Amino acid sequence: MAGDEASEKIDYAALRRKLDEAQAVLEGAQVLSPERRREVLVERARALSESRHEERRETVSVLAFHVGGERYAVPIDAVDHVLESKGMCPLPGAPQYVLGALVSRSRVVPVLDLRHLLGLEGGGMSDLARVVVVDVSEEYIGLAVEDVDGRLDLPRAELGHPPPGPFTFLAKDRLMVLDLAQLGEPTAMGQS
């Protein structure tokens, strides 16, 4: 065994290069050989292309919530923020589907009762614990909801056609995605 070790020659020049490279990495200089640099760049390019491929997967990102015993959602890019429904002020003379208004982020935000707009049964105001503030054509409105589930990424291939009303999609688990542009239109809701 000792003879085998003695017969192997040690390449001190290669060993010294490796030690110098290791020292450079430790000192932050990170001197890489052209071959190793090319390998690193190829690996990074492959990882980047795979991540872009994953992003192309067709999904619809929504914020899901409960109201009137049902699950609904709005497109995540329309959501400005979510807050508690405390401090809502009534708006005398407003339509029945307008619960009141909140001051949020230096804006007065009217709060809509989705139960009324969607023809749902529901309890009183105490059930509506949260307000989802959305941006609809540069106008901010609040949607009073019972509870917020959070963000969901729904595969577009699994979305079906919704029932009549202000909806864009129907997910497999009966989650309906609201069309915010149609939501307040009386004709879309069958109201006069």
Quick: pLDDT tens for 132-178.
999 998 899 999 999 999 999 999 888 999 888 899 999 988 899 99
- Tell me the pLDDT tens digit for each residue of 29-57: 555 677 877 887 888 888 877 765 554 56
pLDDT at position 102 is 92
Contact 114, 145 (CB under 8 A): yes
Cα first-last separation, the chain: 98
Domains and CATH numbers, the chain: 2-55 (no CATH), 59-189 (2.40.50.180)
Q: Match 């190829």 to its residue by tokens.
A: 42
Amino acid 146: pLDDT: 93
* Band of pLDDT at residue 179, cut at 50, 70 and 90: very high
In this prediction, residue 191 carries a pLDDT of 45
Burial status of residue 9 (CB atoms within 10 A of its CB: 0-12, 13-18, 19 or more):
exposed
Burial bucket for residue 171 (CB in 10 Å: 0-12, 13-18, 19+): buried
What does the alpha-carbon distance between residue 29 and residue 43 come to, in Å, rounded to a whole number? 21
Q: pLDDT tens digits for 74-132?
A: 999 999 999 998 888 888 999 988 999 999 888 999 999 999 888 887 766 777 889 99
Residue 151 near residue 134, CB atoms below 8 Å: no
Q: Which tokens sit at 192?
A: 């006069």
- Gap between the Cα atoms of 28 and 24, Å rounded: 6
Neighbours of 100 (CB within 10 A): 20
190 has pLDDT over 50: no
For residue 28, name the pLDDT band (cuts at 50, 70, 90): low
